[in-house]
Amino acid sequence: MAIQTKVAREGSAIEVRMVATGLTEDAAFTLERERIRFWRDAKIDLANITDGGEGNSGTERSPEYRLKVSIANKGKKRSDKTKEKMSKSFKGRVVSKITKEKLSKINKGRPAAFKGRKHSDETKRVLSEIAKKRGAPRFTKEQQEKASAWHRGRKRSPETCAKISAKAKGRPSAQKGKPSPLKGIKKSAEFCAKQSELAKLRWEKRRMECEV
């Protein structure tokens, strides 16, 4: 993958040829070894480090191994140059429909990585400081319209509404004890008229739904 990214960054492309399909894993590994040996005998400079065929499909890392990797990577910071390279390698990349379906199948039924865990007070403080520096996201009019169109006309099922209600019960309001951010702000007559018109349309829509 690193070689493909490097080649793409330099403005070149990699040609992919299908040698064989419908093989078992063992047969595929055997063919891989044969192809690597063929091209090496032809004095072609390959990117392969090994003779091929070892494979890593189905490999599962133990919790101890994962913990070891996690500890090794903690505190590591990527340089601005590395971040820029990573950003360039991901820009313009489009995930195919087949890949999306595969990822969907893999992740179905898998619990969320953060489920049951909570951020420490220190982590919350750091995240808060980062968010303050970043500021609120600013969307273009096109992005706002796209988001609005996606939500328009959508209805939550009774089950979803019940779940949201049960989750929110007993939870203190995020604004409890804080001054209203709208306090002291005067709304223009045009804004008030627009809000009134929207409210009328919503109530009219509800009334028509009840009559059906």
- Read out DSSP for 92-135? T----HHHHHHHHHHHTTPPPTTTT----HHHHHHHHHHHHHH-
Distances (CA, A) of 132 to 128, 137, 179: 6, 11, 19
| Res 212: pLDDT | 58
Residue 39 is assigned to a structural domain of this protein: yes
Give yes or no for a contact between 8 and 20, defined as CB atoms under 8 angstroms apart. no
Measured in whole angstroms, the distance separating CA 171 from the mean position of its chain's CA atoms is 28
Count of the separate structural domains present in the chain: 1
d(Cα 63, Cα 69) in Å, to the nearest integer? 10
Residue 12 is assigned to a structural domain of this protein: no
Residue 157 is assigned to a structural domain of this protein: no
Per-residue pLDDT of the chain (212 residues; tens, 9 = 90+): 567 777 677 767 777 778 888 888 788 888 888 888 888 888 887 777 777 766 555 556 777 888 888 888 887 888 888 888 888 877 877 778 888 888 888 788 877 777 788 888 888 898 888 888 877 777 888 888 888 888 888 888 889 888 888 888 888 877 777 887 777 788 888 888 888 998 888 888 878 777 65
Residue 26 is assigned to a structural domain of this protein: yes
Residue 154 is assigned to a structural domain of this protein: no
Per-residue tokens: 94: 């489009």
Residue 47 is assigned to a structural domain of this protein: yes
Q: Provide the domain limits for residue 42.
A: 20-56
Residue 49 is assigned to a structural domain of this protein: yes
Residue 199 is assigned to a structural domain of this protein: no
